[in-house]
A = this chain, B = another copy of it.
Amino acid sequence: MAGNTFGTLFKLTTFGESHGQAIGGVIDGCPAGLTIDLEEIQNELDKRKPGQSAIVTQRKEDDKVEFLSGIFEGKTTGTSIGFIIKNTNQKSKDYSHIKDVFRPSHADFTYEKKYGIRDYRGGGRSSARETACRVVAGAIAKQFLGKISFHAFTSSVGDLFINKPYQDLDFSLTESTAVRCPDLDVAHKMIEKIKAIRKEGDTIGGTVTCVIKNVPVGLGEPVFDKLHAELGKAMLSINAVKGFEYGSGFCGAKMKGSEHNDIFNVNGSTITNLSGGIQGGISNGMDIYFRVAFKPVATVIQKQDTIDKFGNKVVMEGKGRHDPCVVPRAVPIVEAMAALVIADFMLQNSNSKI
């Protein structure tokens, strides 16, 4: 039971290794008649692609998506949408130095043990390269969702945090810096920090916050498929994610009920929104917001002790062009996964009542 499918009605199935011929996917369940803006999909992909700025990996991959089916004369036809992204860069490198080595805090060891075999080139299937397919599908989900808008941004890098509520941020500034933090003062510090970290040959973690606006009331399918439970699964399925919280999150666990309760306005909206837009696993029409923790990238350009598959101690040193901080490139991935969740629940909610 390999888990390469996400979603119940709006479904994405992906395939592809970092250094195989291509990665790709199949989107099934997208309603027919949706006009597809291909350029907008490519724009989303470009936000994720390597080499886009000075603070991300300098690998050059021209992630160009090709649609093979399911779109006819510019519209979805209701049939499955197949797409591929060719791995143009895949033959250029020698991976023999890591063929038999288990890199610390990578998936080498667990893949080898689980499957008895692994495509070691660039991490194979465990590479975050597969998330490009999620961005493609998420971009289609966004087009399906129309006015529901997704606003993810870098909310911390190491110990540099945005110290404002999201309501005080101008999301139109997110794309104005390479770090994708809409608080520009903080953004500039983050960029300096990442540059410094890179010079050390080290890496740094961070968090992404995402705000979803204009979600209708009623999304989410209790008791197990609660809206925030699926959002949590979606985020935790992204490479390097270590935690998820929504609304008041871990802070809420310190609060009293009398402080935490969101009092209603007469129109059904609430004065505060510690609930994060979700009550009982169902959207209540308020903004949905959540925060996702990313660990520092495991590939450091430093000597590390490790072992090989034969049980020998070895010393390895990361080389190549890796991200010093994964968070800026994770922003479009967080949005894409959120869009897939919301699109899926939109479809599921069609049948909540007669």
Contact = CB atoms under 8 A, between A and B. Distances in A.
Contacts of A81: 15
A352 interface: yes
A34 to B, nearest CB: 5
Nearest to A248: B242
Contacts of A256: 158, 197, 202-205, 296
A314 to B, nearest CB: 10
Interface residues of A, number: 151
Contacts of A213: none
A110 B280 contact: yes
Contacts of A5: 5, 11, 13, 28, 224
Contacts of A252: 205, 242-243, 293, 295-296
Contacts of A254: 156, 158-159, 205
B236 A82 contact: no
A299 B69 contact: no
| Identical copies in the complex | 4
A26 B13 contact: yes
Contacts of A270: 104
Contacts of A347: 1, 350-351
Contacts of A222: 2-4, 79, 107, 125-126
Interface string A215-229: 001101111111011
Contact of A117 (B33, B116, B265, B305): B33
A206 B253 contact: yes
A306 interface: yes
Interface string A2-36: 11111011010111110011111110110111100
B237 A32 contact: no
A153 interface: no
5 contacts: A5-B224, A33-B354, A80-B125, A110-B278, A267-B311
Given A1-B347, A24-B82, A264-B307, 9 more contacts: A17-B69, A22-B69, A32-B352, A77-B117, A102-B264, A109-B279, A243-B253, A257-B298, A259-B296
